[in-house]
Amino acid sequence: MAETVLVTGVSGFIGGHIAAELLRRGYAVRGSVRSPARGDEVRAAMAAAGVDVALLEIVRLDLLADEGWSAAAEGCRFVQHVASPFVTTKPKDPDDLIRPAVQGTTRAVNAALDAGAQRVVVTSSLGALQYAPVRNGHLFTASDWTPLDRRGLGAYVTSKVRAERAAWDIAERRGARDSLAVVNPGAVIGPLLSDDPGTSVTAIQQIMAGALPMIPDLRLPWIDVRDVADAQIEAMTATSAGGSRTIVATDPSSLIDVATVLRERLPEASAKMPSRAMPTWLTWVASIFETQLRDNRWLIGSAQRFDRGPAEALLGRPLRSIPDAIEETARSLVERGLV
């Protein structure tokens, strides 16, 4: 009989890829959505990708409500908690983002431990560590943490730090640290399973659509969604992952570099792309007025480095090529008519 894995946020970009890979590996998946209608969309998207959905069950869970969590985790050997709110515009009240992230993580970890799950894997973010006050040239590792009192910290990063801290606090309090594993991915891109491009993919979509007059020198730690999915699944059973955080990200590449890859590999889809790069100083000025740039201003012109060793050891292979991931992302957008 197939082992069952609860995957929260199965309709999302990362959650969908995790569920699809679990099904390919022979697991039964109990995927959570916020509304029943999303369940049909998930099934259709996975079937279209060639995934057998016979072992896919859909349940409804709300990050802000207790109802259904115990039943959803019951009988699951593993829990993948991926669901978390993510908005591309600044929320009027930061709590609109922070509260569901923290409460959802709290419910997921408690439900998993109450149900006797062997391990719960929480999807955090590189943002939970990459804004630590460090010297230039610092190699970020799992021991780094973004301080909540850092000036200018956005609601999204705050939500990820608080949610991850809550997960570790619960595991420690319940004497179950080794039953928790956390994955900290960078900016996630890759082939789409549905017409929902995901937040990081939107940056590539905007470049291709010519939504920006110039391409800003914003440097993001890109990662292929399939690497994230594989790392999350390996973290369910790997002894080394228990009680650990795993960074799954590459050293940052500028949006200017992304545009270069797109022009070289998809010239037929590059006609609308801006031809000029925005100088670093001008990007800083623009960040005063543009929300997404303002929330990521510490990544403008940055040269951060991340320790990919633990992720590659967990995967048993190198991380996928980012230029290839950029190309596959772009081809997915074109095929789906999203640019």
DSSP string, 17-77: HHHHHHHHTT-EEEEEESSHHHHHHHHHHHHHTT---TTEEEEE--TT--TTHHHHHTT-S
pLDDT along the chain (339 residues), means of 10: 95 97 98 91 95 97 97 98 74 88 98 98 97 92 96 90 98 98 98 89 93 87 98 97 98 93 95 87 71 69 90 98 98 95
Domain that holds residue 270: 4-335
| Distance between CA atoms of residues 332 and 191, nearest Å | 6
* Contact between 69 and 75 (Cβ < 8 Å): no
Return phi, psi of residue 256, to 5°.
-65, -40
- Amino acid code (one letter) for 180: L
Assign residue 165 the CATH number of its domain: 3.40.50.720
- Amino acid 197: pLDDT: 83
* Contact between 125 and 188 (Cβ < 8 Å): no
- Amino acid 292: pLDDT: 65
- Element (DSSP H or E) covering residue 250: none
Residue for token digits 């009988």? 75
DSSP per-residue letters across 123-156? E--GGGTTTS---TT-EE-TT----TT-TT--HH
| Distance between CA atoms of residues 72 and 78, nearest Å | 11
Among candidates 157, 164, 56, 158, which has minimal Cα distance to 108? 164
In the chain, the largest separation of any two C-alpha atoms, in whole Å, equals: 59
Q: Which two tokens stand for residue 329?
A: 């992302």
Q: What is the pTM of this model?
A: 0.94
| Distance between CA atoms of residues 81 and 228, nearest Å | 13
* Contact between 217 and 301 (Cβ < 8 Å): yes
- Amino acid 295: pLDDT: 66
Number of domains in the chain: 1
SS3 4: strand
DSSP per-residue letters across 211-223? -SSSB--BEE-EE
